[in-house]
Amino acid sequence: MRKPIAGLAPLALFLAALLVLSACGSGTKHVEHVEVFIVETLEQNEAGFYEAIGFKKVNAVTTIEEGKNHVKTDTKTIEDYYDTAGRHMKTEIVHSSLHKSHVTLAEDKDHRTATLEEPAAILLPDGESGPFKMNKMTEAEKTKVRAHVQSFIDQL
């Protein structure tokens, strides 16, 4: 009769470990922002003032995970840069991530970029120089932007 009870010990240990692990994850918040916008770009002149040098069209996907003991951020963007006359100058693909522990204060960062010669941002009006933000995106539009941005990030 002792063998069946002894056989339950590993199962009980597994269940106890599972409960502890699930308790550690409680209270974790996950937030995702999918954005499509146009913003003016500025540069500091010799006098120290910032002046408009153009604008950029951006597709961005930002995820944030925040728990009691850590925060993780992941930002993926396509940024099409234009001069004040509306001529495309360059496109930057950027992937930045940060994982910070509130316990050990350790930070793990990663930042990768690539430059393209052709515009790549989607769902933005032609001829628009900003400011513009696509509000109330549908789930289909968000899915399209997520997949589009990820396809460029995968090539970094």
Q: CB-hemisphere CA count at 13 Å for 6?
A: 3
29-44/50-66 β-pairing:
antiparallel
- Exposure class string for 38-61: b at 16+ Cβ within 10 A, else e: beebeeeeeeeeeeeebbbbbbbb
> 21: part of which helix (H) or strand (E)?
helix 2-25
Residue whose C-alpha is closest to residue 28's, from 61, 69, 62, 75: 69
Domain range annotation of the chain: 28-153
Q: Which CA distances in Å does 139 have to 89, 98, 136, 144?
A: 31, 26, 9, 9
Residues with Cβ within 8 Å of 37's Cβ and at least 6 positions away in sequence, in order, are 57, 58, 60, 124, 130, 131, 132, 133, 134
For the cut 90, the answer to whether the pLDDT of residue 77 exceeds it is: yes
pLDDT one-digit tens code per residue, 13-43: 454 444 444 445 457 899 999 999 999 999 9
Three-state secondary structure call for residue 115 = strand
Omega of the bond prior to 131 within 30 degrees of 0, cis? yes
CB 33 within 8 A of CB 60: yes
pLDDT one-digit tens code per residue, 81-140: 999 999 999 999 999 999 998 888 888 999 999 999 999 999 998 888 878 999 999 999
Global pTM value: 0.78
- Sign of the CA dihedral with 32 first, then 142, 35, and 120 last: positive
CB 151 within 8 A of CB 121: no
